[in-house]
Amino acid sequence: MAVIKHISIKNSNYNAATDYLTTQHDEFTGKAVLDEQGNHIPRSDFILEGIHCDPYSFGEECEETNKRFNKNQTRTEIKAHHYIISFDPRDRDDNGLTTQQAQALGMKFAEKNFPGHEALVCTHPDGHNSAGNIHVHIVINSVRAYDVERQDFMERPGDALAGHKHHVTKNYLKYLKSQTMLMCQQESFYQVDLLHPAKVRITDREYWAQRRGQAKLDSKIKSSPSLSQHTTQFETEKGFLRRVITEIMTDSHSMEEFQKKMFEKYSIEVYESRGRISYLLPDRQKPIRGRSLGTDFEKEFIQHFISENHIFDQKRIYENIKKSETKSFFSQTSHHKTKQSVRLITDLETCIKAQQSRAYAQKVKISNLQKMADTLAFLQTNGIETMEDLQKLRTSSKEHVKETLAKVKMTESKLHIVDKMYHARMTILKNRNVYKQYLNSPNRRDFREEHTAEIMLYEAARKELQGLTGTKKFPSLKDIQAERSALYRQKNAYYED
């Protein structure tokens, strides 16, 4: 699973980016860590390379480009863009990902998606959380230094021309996420769907609030060990809210009961508006929207969970589990964080709250029985009676996925060509009138200077379409759209499969 993050930089000191990538910085404040003599301390392990520049003179070369095109001269302008691609820690252990391989992938990604820009590409072997997540930093000057061939993802005529600024839109970020997913797929890395909302959404702000809060709590416990009897884990407001919502919806039979219990037990008001749900904590003026917590905390999911969670009554659940011969299987698999369609049970031995409250422990036991029943129903529905059956199903599923992925790749390669044809045909249509005026103009030289971008786009699109079709007679836009739609339907069907 790789994720990509974008940060806009307004700092006019480009060398600060190089310093950050190559020297140690405090993870909370972002300030440089200095030795006793006041000098920067180099990072112990990193790989740094430059594209269209020397990595150690990146700042000077960017300033030279800015002066040449008279850009980035004011304080409010975005001077650079910082992209971070973080790989799953498991890719290092399970798939043999190295910093050298990550750097090569980062260079390829930057050259493809930020063409013509001066760029720094730097790979670090670990992140702030020391989980072993290899990650790649890509820092680009916001002004393109060189003209490049127009690409499909470019939205404006100037996106391929030197002197124009890097343009970040929702569609472009969506494109970069799809490219990140494609990279993971091609390298057989762990991956998640970056194009749809996360089940549990944790922003950078919440992540760092949790890290800072945990550091302060650890410091307090160290100075006063008696505090460790109360709690050792810091919770943000959103973290607390997620835990409470999960607890209450596990014990609710309807949305009305869910709302009532949220208020009675925790004084949290639950509001609904236009199908959306939000939560107002007692010490806040502004409610927290469910979608900011993740899709697992929105109205639709909670309603579905409540209805699914109470199909069986408690007596029937208990009888099913008692008769089940797969109890040992549940106890073995419940401790593994594997991705599955059924929910994992809660380990009472490690659940601090369950040890502190007998009532809560009873709720957890009932919830565990419900989850076990769901698992048992899943096994019975799929005819899985032994571990051998499960292994056979796993093997056949992997083979099916492999075959389907081959079909996906073949469809995507066809779709890539048709997409190029579509964009080229659209570009020709958009600039056709200008090009006709150019051909009929008595002074083509002056007309071309006035309409350079449109004419260049038309000629480049025409040349590309000739190369793709192998003929000067182009297919109609309607035919291309029909073929494109059919390929997208086929691709979606394969992905669904």
Q: Rounded to 5 degrees, what angle do the CA atoms 182, 186, 188 make?
A: 110
The number of angstroms, rounded, from the C-alpha of 30 to the middle of its chain's C-alpha atoms is 23
Judged against a pLDDT cut of 50, whether residue 302 lies above it is answered with yes
Helix %, strand %, coil % of the chain (to 5): 55, 10, 35
Q: Which two tokens stand for residue 396?
A: 């056949």
Mean pLDDT of 305-330: 52
Highest mean predicted confidence (pLDDT) among 77-86, 154-163, 313-322:
77-86
Average pLDDT for the chain:
84
All domains of the chain in start order, with CATH: 3-187 (3.30.930), 311-385 (no CATH), 397-496 (no CATH)
Condensed to tens digits (0 to 9), the pLDDT of residues 329-383 reads: 444 444 343 344 456 777 777 777 777 777 778 888 888 888 888 888 888 888 8
Give the whole-angstrom CA distance, residue 435 versus residue 428: 9
Q: Does 304 score more than 60 pLDDT?
A: yes
Range 424-445 average pLDDT: 89
pLDDT at 82 over 70: yes
Helix pair angle (477-496, 387-440), 10° resolution: 160
pLDDT digits (tens, 9 = 90+) for 460-490: 888 888 888 888 788 888 888 889 889 888 8
Residue range 250-274: mean pLDDT, rounded:
87
Which pLDDT score, from 0 to 100, does residue 327 have? Answer: 43
How far, rounded to the nearest angstrom, does the alpha carbon of residue 398 sit from its chain's CA centroid?
25
pLDDT value at position 330? 42
pLDDT of residue 464: 87
Q: Which of the residue ranges 41-45, 139-143, 211-215, 325-329 would you say has the lowest mean pLDDT?
A: 325-329
Residue 53: pLDDT band by 50, 70, 90 thresholds? very high
Question: Residue for token digits 């050259």?
Answer: 111
Name the amino acid, one letter, at 296.
D
Q: Is the pLDDT of residue 8 over 90?
A: yes
Cα gap 13→11, rounded to integer Å? 5
Confidence of residue 84 (pLDDT cuts 50, 70, 90): very high
Measure the N-to-C terminal CA separation of the chain; round to a whole number of Å. 20
**Are the beta carbons of 292 and 238 closer than 8 angstroms?**
yes
Taking residues 97-104, report their average pLDDT. 94
What does the pLDDT look like over 121-140, one tens digit per residue? 999 998 766 667 899 999 99
The answer to whether the CB of 369 falls within 8 A of the CB of 314 is: yes
Q: Which residue has the higher pLDDT, 218 or 161?
A: 161
d(CA 182, CA 458): 30
Quote the pLDDT of residue 329: 42
- Residues of the chain with pLDDT > 90, as a percent, come to 29
The answer to whether 167 and 155 have CB atoms below 8 angstroms apart is yes
pLDDT for position 227: 61
Sheet holding 80-86, edge to edge: 3-9, 80-86, 135-141, 119-124, 47-51
